[in-house]
Amino acid sequence: MAPRKFFVGGNWKMNGDKKSLGELIHTLNGAKLSADTEVVCGAPSIYLDFARQKLDAKIGVAAQNCYKVPKGAFTGEISPAMIKDIGAAWVILGHSERRHVFGESDELIGQKVAHALAEGLGVIACIGEKLDEREAGITEKVVFEQTKAIADNVKDWGKVVLAYEPVWAIGTGKTATPQQAQEVHEKLRGWLKSHVSDAVAQSTRIIYGDAARSCPARITGGTRGR
């Protein structure tokens, strides 16, 4: 089996304007990037077209969210069809801020994953536990339930990257140790092997993400993981 290609994602969140993002894009375009690493930037929806036009073609662009249907009376939402129309190929779904700030359920996230994949987008699917859940010893229970809601809606795992993002390490200044992250990655691969297939468990890229509060262009991960 071919080795998993490294994946590095930068989630810009609700940060930047044309000037500052243009400067960031100029820096990224001038960077020496390995052909063995896939790099994707998650731009705010209003700047998706700008990012895709300005970023070098070797750097992917992701929307930070999308809805579960192609079109309709859903004020403020964007669809996978719209994301594809401006040339972006990825979407971030299930981010902890969507779950815990905006109240998105596992069921809704699963529906979004299904529709995004059906429309041909790659999905960066986020999972992770809160601090009280880790301290209660239920990290595995939480991330397995979140993963199941995603897995139940995936037919082509080649278009999915799993992003393990412990909520307690996002915007708090805390970070999980490499050992903590790898332990969860290993458990996730075990879950995929038992509930999907050994091939999917071996081939799916699982990345780790966290961020300090001061980092506007957040790196969501870059590892083959375990």
Which positions are annotated as active-site residues? Answer: 95, 165
Q: Which helix (H) or strand (E) holds 29?
A: helix 18-30
Classify residue 24 as left (phi > 0), alpha (psi -120 to 50) or beta. alpha
Gap between the Cα atoms of 82 and 89, Å rounded: 11
CB 95 within 8 A of CB 165: yes
Instruction: For tokens 């859903």, name the residue.
Output: 74
Gap between the Cα atoms of 45 and 59, Å rounded: 17
Which DSSP state fits 195? H
* Structure token digits, residue 146: 């979140």
Q: Which helix (H) or strand (E) holds 161?
A: strand 160-164
Distant-in-sequence, close-in-space partners of 20: CB < 8 Å, separation ≥ 6: none
Gap between the Cα atoms of 56 and 39, Å rounded: 11
* Structure token digits, residue 136: 């209660």
Beta bridge partners of 104: none
